[in-house]
Amino acid sequence: MIPELGQFSLILAFCLSIILGTLPIIGASRNNLLWMSLARPLTAGVFVFLAIGISILAYAFYVDDFSVQFVAQHSNTTLPLRYKLTAVWGGHEGSFLLWTFMMSGWMFAVAIFSKSMPLDFVARVLGVLGILTAAYILFMLATSNPFTRIVPLPPVDGVELNTALQDFGFIIHPPTLYMGYVGFSVVFAFAIAALLSGKLDAAWARWSRPWANAAWAILTIGIALGSWWAYYELGWGGWWAWDPVENPPLITWLFGTALIHSLAVTEKRGVFKSWTILLAILAFSGSLFGTFITRSGLLTSVHAFASDPTRGFFILAILGVAIGGSLLLFAFRAPLMKSEFGFEAVSREIFILINNVILVVAAASVFLGTVFPMVYQAITDDLLSIGPPYFNIVFLPLMVLLVLALGVGPISRWKKTSTTYLFQQLGKVALASIAIGVVLPLIITLEFSLIATAAVTLAAWLTLSMLKDLANKTANKSTRMLGLKALSLSYYGMQTAHFGVAVMLIGIALTSGFSTEKSVLLAPGESIDLGEYVFQLNGVTRVTGPNYIAQEAEISVAKGDRNVGLLFPQSRVYLASRTPSTEMAIDAGFFRDLFVTLGEEKGNSAWSMTIYVKPFIRWIWLGAIFMALGGLIAAGDKRYRRLRRRQLEQLQEGSAQPTVHNAGAGLQVNP
């Protein structure tokens, strides 16, 4: 009976979403205060009923209710409790329920934190989100019901959660990724609300900017967690594979990065209005595209869900209606989107526009490399693979140009900047960056690598230009501390995120240029040298886990006369499905990782294994943390919103006060 309550809660959430997607929007167009006021309570209702639904599904996993088909397919009695609860998003139906629940969470947050916005605008925003939520719930009920029963004879035990997903990384990676994904639906709703109202001034950008920054920061962490999880769980020693299912989050992130920069210009300068609206639509399109890729059945991947074509067509219909409708509305309102101010050919606006164009071209190149093999196969029925060489050749030069532009943009001035000024500010920075790029990798690795030199040069360029800009902005204050206090949170957020890019560049370059690996056969007592380290196999023992048996190797690692530590890689077999799995052992360090995977026994007690030394790989994810932190800091900046509020209050006070005219002097006074 309890699963039926879960399904009933989805039906109630769907009904409320339909009402939310109609009455408040109609009320806003007719200036009906009552209908507009329904938006917030309806949003709360949708959130509550979806929370009930996902809680009931989690409870079904907790009590091993194998009469629920989704539970039977992704859990069993031996699965540890932490994985039973997180198996809620271990398959298509549950993960899409989590997606929709997170959408309702963003909606609820907008309802709570939008008290200072005009009611008609909030009604339109929540109405658009209500329409999207209704479409998602209808998709669930029609094709992907997580509460479908197995009747009349449910199994005594379930199957198994995918063994690759029985890991801590899976507990946190999908929720974080989904939270970032659906966050861009909020910015999309703000953009559509602005188009519906016809008020395409800087106000909508000011209101949506914190939400865009927050969604971007969370998506950054989600992508980084996915990279980290694939690195240590899949056992291949890499951090990014250009997998067709990994690429859509990156496409969304690239559009989102362009969006947060464009929103800043629209808010502060009143320009790029149409471009910013279009980027909001594109970022949202990226999230729907990712959903289509993982749930259409077109791909087989550890990230993808087995699915039938009906689901793919349904999601494609949602994508087509949402994006097609928004682009038609965009075209209809295009004449209203005129810039309020002009700017010269060399200015901060131009450098941000260059930044945007590079990011959009990069997103388009990744999209093309991801989609073209699918289209080719659909037309010719032949397989075509586009791998890392294409993406590296196309993507990396664009990122070089982007980092160069990032170094110039903050130094330049709004409206107009002289090229002489830029050369004066950045000439020494460029020379120092080249020197650091040549010398630093040699000091660290005692080897020359063109890739490492180029990347460290770019990282130094970005970091030194940031420091130069910071020095310029605090130079006219009586003390540096006063100058630092005067700077806004959005500025500190920008600097923190750009520093994260520099840190990530160093990590990518040094781990790509100086990583070493060796596949070996070792018997107990034998050792192998790799770089500065000696790895010795001490022995292999049989261990038993809660739902698996494993062969566990003990490997001691030494560097010269110093013992570094012990590593314990495993070769597992999961009991329920008899699925083999490899559990890597990693000795993690700030400057390097030591990484060992255990293979099979080959005879004479010798075991196959692969050993890696990965310098600076942690800096990739450290850079992502700085970037996400920068986004969250920027999201907390209320400077422009407070300024606008004060201006409105002064305007209202001025219009309410009596005016005295002096006819002789032509003087107007507001006492």
Size of the chain, expressed as the number of residues it contains: 671
**Whether pLDDT at 659 is above 50:** no
pLDDT digit string (tens) for 269-283? 888 888 999 999 999
Alpha helices in 487-602 (DSSP H): 489-514
Query: What's phi and psi for 521, nearest 5 deg?
Result: -115, 125
Are residues 124 and 247 both part of a single domain? no
Most confident of 98-102, 347-351, 544-548: 98-102
The alpha-carbon radius of gyration of the chain (Å, integer) is: 28
What is the Cα–Cα distance from 251 to 243, expressed in whole angstroms?
12
408, 549: one domain: no
Residue 671 has pLDDT above 90, yes or no: no
Most confident range (mean pLDDT) of 116-120, 123-127, 439-443, 491-495 is 123-127
Q: Angle, to 10 degrees, between the axis of helix 309-333 and the axis of helix 168-197?
A: 30
- Give, in order, the Cα–Cα distances in Å from 355 to each of 116, 285, 298, 565: 32, 20, 33, 45
Nearest-angstrom CA–CA distance, 641 and 258: 21
| Inside any domain, residue 301 | yes
Give residue-wise pLDDT tens across range 484-493: 887 888 889 9
Quote the domain boundaries for residue 649.
638-671
Residue finishing a domain among 417, 443, 472: 417
What does the pLDDT read at residue 416?
83
Is residue 430 scored above 50 in pLDDT? yes
- How far apart (Å, rounded) are the C-alpha atoms in residues 305 and 319? 18
Do both 385 and 337 map to the same domain?
Answer: yes
Q: Are residues 293 and 427 in the same domain?
A: no
268 and 348 belong to one structural domain: yes
| Each residue's pLDDT tens digit, 143-165 | 889 999 998 888 888 888 888 88
pLDDT of 635 > 60? The answer is yes
Task: Supply the mean pLDDT for the chain.
Answer: 88
Q: Which pLDDT score is estimated for 308?
A: 64
Q: What is the pLDDT of residues 53-93, one digit of tens each?
A: 999 999 999 999 999 999 999 999 999 999 999 999 998 89
- pLDDT value at 657 more than 80: no
Q: Mean pLDDT throughout 384-413?
A: 90
For residue range 291-304, list pLDDT tens digits in order. Answer: 887 776 555 454 54
Q: Provide φ and ψ at 650, rounded to 5°.
A: -65, -40
pLDDT of residue 666: 34
Is 179 within a domain? no
pLDDT of residue 664 exceeding 50, the answer is no
The whole-angstrom separation of Cα 480 and Cα 352 is 28
C-alpha distance from residue 568 to each of 153, 323, 558 (Å): 43, 50, 15
Question: What confidence tens digit (pLDDT) does each residue in 11-35 have?
Answer: 999 999 999 999 999 999 999 999 9
Tell me, yes or no, whether 500 and 472 share the same domain.
yes
pLDDT confidence bin for 650, thresholds 50/70/90: low
Instruction: Flag whether pLDDT at 306 surpasses 70.
Output: no
Residues 237, 353 within the same domain: yes
**Residues 39, 93: one domain?**
yes
Residue 85 falls inside a structural domain: yes
Asked if 79 and 221 sit in the same domain, the reply is: no
Of 649 and 103, the one with more pLDDT: 103
Same domain, 412 and 540: no
- Mark whether 22 and 84 lie in a shared domain: yes
Please tell me the predicted confidence (pLDDT) of residue 654.
Answer: 55
CA distance 665 to 303: 76
> How many domains is the chain partitioned into structurally?
5
Categorize the per-residue pLDDT at 7 as very low, low, confident or very high, splitting at 50, 70 and 90: very high
Residue type, 577: S
Is the Cβ–Cβ distance between 73 and 542 less than 8 Å? no
Backbone angles phi, psi at 564, to 5 degrees: -85, -40
Question: Residues 513-526: pLDDT tens digits?
Answer: 889 999 999 999 99
The tokens of 560 are what? Answer: 């010269």
Boundary of a domain, candidates 123, 147, 166: 166
Predicted confidence band at 482 (pLDDT cuts at 50, 70, 90)? confident
Is 665 a residue whose pLDDT tops 60? no
Q: Tell me what the mean pLDDT of segment 316-335 comes to.
A: 89
Q: Give the domain-ending residue among 114, 147, 166.
A: 166
191, part of any domain: no
At residue 1, the 3 state secondary structure works out as coil
Please write the tens of the pLDDT for every residue from 196-207.
Answer: 988 888 888 999
Residue 151 inside a domain? The answer is yes
- For residue 326, tell me if it sits in a domain: no
Residues 280, 405 within the same domain: yes
3-class DSSP state for residue 573? strand
Q: What is the DSSP letter of 637?
A: -
Q: Does position 626 have pLDDT exceeding 80, yes or no?
A: yes
Structure confidence at residue 116 (pLDDT): 87
**Domain membership flag for residue 358:** yes
Which tokens in the block code for residue 404? 């160069």
% the chain with pLDDT above 90: 59
**Over the stretch 434-463, which tens digit does the pLDDT of each residue have?**
999 999 888 887 778 888 899 999 999 999
pLDDT at residue 107 is higher than 90: yes
- Listed range (1-15, 478-492, 521-535) with the worst mean pLDDT: 478-492
The predicted structure's pLDDT at residue 342: 67
Closest CA relative to residue 186, chosen from 105, 250, 119: 105
Residue 632 covered by a domain = no
As a whole number, mean pLDDT of residues 584-590 equals: 93
Please determine, for residue 641, whether its predicted confidence score (pLDDT) is greater than 70.
no
Judge whether residue 431 has pLDDT over 80. yes
> Which pLDDT score, from 0 to 100, does residue 475 have?
79
